[in-house]
Amino acid sequence: MRRLSIYTLLSAGLLVSICFSLASGAMRIPIKEVIDTLTHNLGFTLFGNSDHGINQSVIMMIRLPRTLLGILVGAALGISGAAIQGIFRNPLAEPGLVGISAGASLMAVLIIAFETFLFSCLSQLLGYYLLAFGAFAGAGITAMLVYNLSKVNGQANVPTMLLAGIAINAMAGALTGLVTYLADEQKLRSITFWMMGSLGGATWQNVGCLFPFVGIAVFGLPFLAKGLNLFAIGENQVELIGLNPRRIKILVVVMATMAVGASVAVSGIIGFIGLLIPHLTRLIGSVDHRFVLPVSALMGALVLTVADLVSRLIVQPIELPIGVVTALMGSPVFLYILIKDKKKLVN
């Protein structure tokens, strides 16, 4: 019952924030017109008048893709964070912290910097897919690296995991810096965009490119929820209870890194969502992954939509990088977890 009301509340919140996101910005558009435009484009008319000219173009060409991108990226980061924390058996394992995002961004930067030499013949859409797959590969490699580095007697060891994350973040950062030096003026601009983390580059094209990557994770990961629950009582118990731990681990890592990698490819590193969202979900509901995974996706979408709204409105007309907003919201939560679980982290 409680779970149902959480779902309802979050969905309602998401709908409201979508409407606000479409209505607000440099040019204010009345909510009624927003709803009108949306319903008209879905094929039916609610208020009779459906021609809003320039407003309609602003919504359909600029704001809707951006909002959808925020929803996809938020859902991807939320659900991947929850799944990766489940595999690592630890609430601190976040894609940004353990280096998965850094690995993805390094690959993305490499591809941007060298694409002219290697893939000049590719069309733009294919280029986006290449970027997404490259980022996915970077994310997957770092995830496996960190997991295997931090595994002691079959269980992820937390201090080692965090230290490995620091090392990988530093290494990826250094290599990214190196690549930036080698890149020319125009490449430099696109690379800088990736490093900041922003939803500003949203187009229908990259929304369409991101959708399958995130869709597979959001619909696939909840099927592994029971297996992730079993990881909480130990990797060898998964096998004894009759599920295949290797298969679960590989599927989780592949789907989570696919979503994170593709998100990083289109929007750069947006920190703390993967950490903050699953933790909030566990606080309000339960730690059962059958609940945590879908709700983290929903809440991630909601929070990122709101964060994007804040980043656009707070210092108008300048747009704050969204990473700044999520870090402002996320780091206090991170500190709270650290203080609360300080003793547990030591042993």
Partner 1 sequence: MLRVESITYKLNKRLLLKDISFSIRPGEMVALLGSNGAGKSTLMRLLSGERKPDSGRIMLYGDDLRDYKRKILATKRAYLQQHNPVTMAFSVKEVVMMGRYGFKGLPSAKNDETAVLETMELCGLLDFADRSMLSLSGGEQQRVHLARVLTQLWDNPDAVLLLDEPTNNMDLQFQHQTLSIAAAMAKKGYMIIVVLHDVNLAAQYASRLIILKDGRKWWDGTPAQVLTPQHIYTAFGIHAQAYTDQSSLKTVIVPKEIKLDAAKFNSNLQAAEQPIYNLANTSIDELATI
> Interface with partner 1 by CB under 8 A: which residues?
89-91, 226-227, 229-230, 232-234, 236-237, 239-244, 282, 286-288
Q: Which residues contact 278 (CB under 8 A, 6 or more apart)?
A: 78, 81, 82, 85, 91, 292, 296
Residues 165 and 96: their CA atoms lie apart, in Å, by: 9
Q: Judged by CB, which is closer to partner 1: 8, or 237?
A: 237
CA 97, CA 274: separation in Å to the nearest integer?
9
Nearer to partner 1, 67 or 90 (CB): 90
The distance of closest approach from Cβ of residue 157 to partner 1 in the complex, given in angstroms and rounded to an integer, is 12
Least separation in angstroms between CB 247 and partner 1: 10
Would you say 63 or 279 has its CB closer to partner 1? Answer: 279
Phi-psi region of 167 (alpha: psi -120 to 50; beta: other; left: phi over 0): alpha
Considering Cα of 42, then 46, then 51, then 55, what sign does the dihedral take?
negative
Radius of gyration of the chain (CA): 20
Comparing CB distances to partner 1, the nearer of 173 and 234 is 234
CA distance 281 to 290: 12
Shortest distance, CB of residue 230 to partner 1, whole angstroms?
Answer: 6
Q: Which is nearer to partner 1, 53 or 154 (CB)?
A: 154
Q: To the nearest whole angstrom, how small is the minimum distance from the Cβ of residue 237 to partner 1?
A: 8
Burial of 77 (0-12, 13-18, 19+ CB in 10 A): buried
Residue 190 neighbours by CB distance under 10 Å: 15
Q: Which two tokens stand for residue 243?
A: 């599920």
- The DSSP code for 46 is S
Residue with Cβ nearer partner 1 (190 or 229)? 229
Nearer to partner 1, 200 or 234 (CB): 234
Q: How far is CA 305 from CA 21, 69, 308, in A?
A: 7, 9, 5
Least Å distance between CB 248 and partner 1?
11
Nearest-approach distance from CB 140 to partner 1, in angstroms? 24
Q: Which H/E stretch holds residue 60?
A: none
Rounded CA separation 117/237 (Å): 50
By C-beta, is 40 or 282 nearer to partner 1?
282
Closest contact distance (angstroms) between CB of 228 and partner 1 is 10
Cβ of residue 285: shortest distance to partner 1, in angstroms?
Answer: 11
